[in-house]
């Protein structure tokens, strides 16, 4: 029901990012449009939902101070559509971040649509040092981005203001590896949904354990 939106601009905003009610009695909501996100109002607050060819996301955004007359959302989190990523790719990431110390490194975990498998893709680097790295994140058509990773050399893992700018668009998991040669590296993770940042499980949990 959008007929109350009398301004075309509001109609466009709602069309691009709708807000929906979680059904209390009826059938479950259909999945969001691929690549876009929506907000769902449930009994305990607001959730964001999004899907693309490699990720499905449902995460809480705001908790309601009262119980709302809508349905409950039972499962939240970030799901890999194609299953867990092989551990060997994580091992390769850790080795490359170690070998690059004190400089920073960048790599993209991708889904190869032709081979139907995960791979580690190292993008073209524009510039790098022990304080920054700049790289091209345009992928070949055969790849879908799953995790965008970079390292911080000897510094701890965190998301900088520069990272916030580079993550302004797209839909993927973002990760940082810090203290790369300390023997006890640090890690930071978030999910990026079209310019919005949400807390997320440690990106290492998306890899197989054996």
Mean pLDDT is highest, among 23-37, 84-98, 125-139, for: 84-98
Q: HSE-up of 120 (CA within 13 Å, CB side)?
A: 18
Q: What is the pLDDT of residue 195?
A: 87
Residues 142-158, mean pLDDT to the nearest whole number: 95
CA distance 123 to 107: 6
Residues of the chain with CATH 3.40.140.10: 87-206
Q: What is the pTM of this model?
A: 0.91
Residue/partner pairs of 60-69 with CB below 8 Å, 24 or more apart: 61/198, 67/43, 68/41, 68/42, 68/43, 68/44, 69/24, 69/43
pLDDT at 1 over 70: no
pLDDT at 117 over 90: yes
Q: What is the CATH architecture assignment of 87-206?
A: 3-Layer(aba) Sandwich (3.40)
**Averaged pLDDT score across all residues of the chain:** 92
- What dihedral do alpha carbons 33, 36, 40, 46 form, nearest 10°? 170
């Amino acid at each position: 029901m959008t007929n109350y939106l009398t301004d075309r601009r509001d109609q466009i905003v709602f069309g691009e990012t709708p807000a929906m009610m979680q059904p209390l009695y009826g059938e479950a909501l259909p999945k969001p449009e691929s690549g876009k996100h929506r907000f769902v109002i449930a009994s305990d607050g607001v959730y964001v939902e999004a899907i693309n060819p490699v990720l499905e996301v449902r995460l809480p955004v705001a908790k309601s101070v009262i119980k709302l007359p809508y349905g409950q959302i039972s499962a939240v989190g970030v799901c890999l559509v194609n299953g867990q990523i092989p551990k060997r790719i994580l091992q390769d990431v850790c080795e490359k971040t170690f070998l690059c110390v004190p400089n920073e490194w960048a790599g993209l975990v991708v889904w190869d649509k032709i081979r139907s498998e995960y791979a580690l893709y190292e993008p073209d680097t524009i510039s790098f040092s022990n304080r920054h790295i700049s790289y091209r994140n345009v992928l070949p058509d055969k790849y879908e981005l799953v995790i965008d990773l970079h390292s911080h050399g000897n510094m701890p893992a965190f998301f900088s203001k520069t990272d916030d700018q580079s993550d302004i668009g797209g839909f993927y998991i973002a990760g940082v590896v810090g203290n790369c040669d300390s023997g006890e590296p640090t890690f930071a993770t978030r999910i990026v949904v079209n310019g919005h940042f949400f807390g997320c499980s440690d990106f290492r949990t998306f890899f197989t354990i054996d």
